[in-house]
């Protein structure tokens, strides 16, 4: 994903509400639901959508096909639901990373240090994570066959929303000179998360820790040159 947080790497957010089936009445609730969601994600990542059968998911999860259909309606709805839930989990991780570094902007005395620390951990934890890279590749492959994946309806909390909130809060304290927090968030993402995705070709090329560090520190420095208050 992609940023990253798929959406920030030019990737959409899966919309599990627009399925062709009857919708999920239960979904991933409970141990069986969690087993189905985990099995489905692993098989979709490994084999792709078309080559993954409901029979294979059921066998991997240790449940019956009927249980899967009762919970999700059909394979397409399961696919969209699993992607949506996985990105939601990623956003929870990103939010916790942000809170760890910039939870109270009134305590930020060195905006470059704290912003770099936040972006660095987010890039290493999410953008360069093998599972997230595999997920982005899966969406890139399957999106043309699932128009709903390109819908602009997104979960309430997205990477862009989290970054926008951070830069808006920093602007309120005078640490940044920003009139459009949403646009500034896009610039920060493009200079850091987007660069990591581009340089690694979404994980196809392994980046060294030193290269990732250079991308992060350089991206934050360029961002601050554009948005530091005059003087």
Return the CATH number at 34. 1.10.10.60
Q: Which residues of 160-182 are buried (b: 16+ CB within 10 A; e: fewer)?
A: bbbbbbbbbbbbeeebbebeebe
Pair 137, 213 in one domain: yes
Does 109 share its domain with 187? Answer: yes
How many percent of the chain have pLDDT more than 90? Answer: 51
Higher pLDDT, 135 or 25: 135
Quote the number of domains for the chain: 2
- Reported pTM: 0.78
Do 10 and 111 share a domain, yes or no? yes
Give domain status of residue 91, yes or no: yes
- Say if CB 216 and CB 101 are below 8 A apart: no
Tens digit of pLDDT for each residue in 47-97?
A: 999 999 999 999 999 999 999 999 999 999 999 889 888 888 888 999 999
Q: Annotate 29-39 with b (16+ C-beta within 10 A) or e (fewer).
A: eeebbebbbeb
What is the average pLDDT score of the chain?
A: 83
More confident residue, 205 or 186: 186
User: Do 56 and 106 share a domain, yes or no?
Assistant: no
Please state, in angstroms and rounded to a whole number, the distance separating the CA atoms of residues 50 and 143.
12
CA distance 89 to 49: 21
What pLDDT score does 51 carry? 93
CATH number at residue 144: 1.10.357.10
Q: Are residues 158 and 196 in the same domain?
A: yes
Percent of the chain with pLDDT over 70: 81
Q: Which residue has the higher pLDDT, 144 or 212?
A: 212
């Amino acid at each position: 994903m992609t940023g990253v947080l798929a959406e920030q790497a030019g990737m959409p957010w899966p919309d599990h509400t627009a399925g062709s089936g009857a919708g999920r009445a239960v979904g991933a609730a409970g141990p069986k639901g969690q087993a189905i969601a985990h099995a489905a994600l692993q098989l979709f990542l490994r084999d792709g959508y078309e080559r993954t059968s409901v029979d294979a998911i059921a066998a991997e999860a240790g449940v019956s096909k009927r249980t899967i259909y009762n919970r999700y309606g059909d394979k397409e709805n399961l696919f969209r639901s699993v992607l949506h839930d996985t990105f939601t989990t990623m956003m929870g991780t990103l939010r916790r990373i942000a809170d760890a570094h910039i939870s109270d902007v009134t305590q930020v005395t060195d905006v470059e240090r704290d912003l770099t620390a936040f972006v660095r951990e987010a890039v290493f934890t999410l953008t360069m994570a093998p599972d997230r890279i595999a997920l982005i590749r899966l969406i890139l492959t399957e999106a043309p066959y699932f128009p709903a994946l390109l819908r602009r309806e997104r979960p309430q909390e997205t990477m862009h929303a989290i970054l926008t909130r951070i830069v808006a809060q920093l602007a309120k304290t005078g640490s940044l000179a920003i009139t459009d927090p949403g646009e500034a968030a896009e610039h920060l993402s493009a200079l850091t998360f987007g660069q990591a995705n581009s340089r690694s070709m979404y994980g196809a090329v392994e980046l060294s820790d030193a290269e990732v560090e250079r991308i992060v520190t350089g991206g934050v420095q360029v961002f601050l040159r554009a948005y530091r208050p005059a003087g």
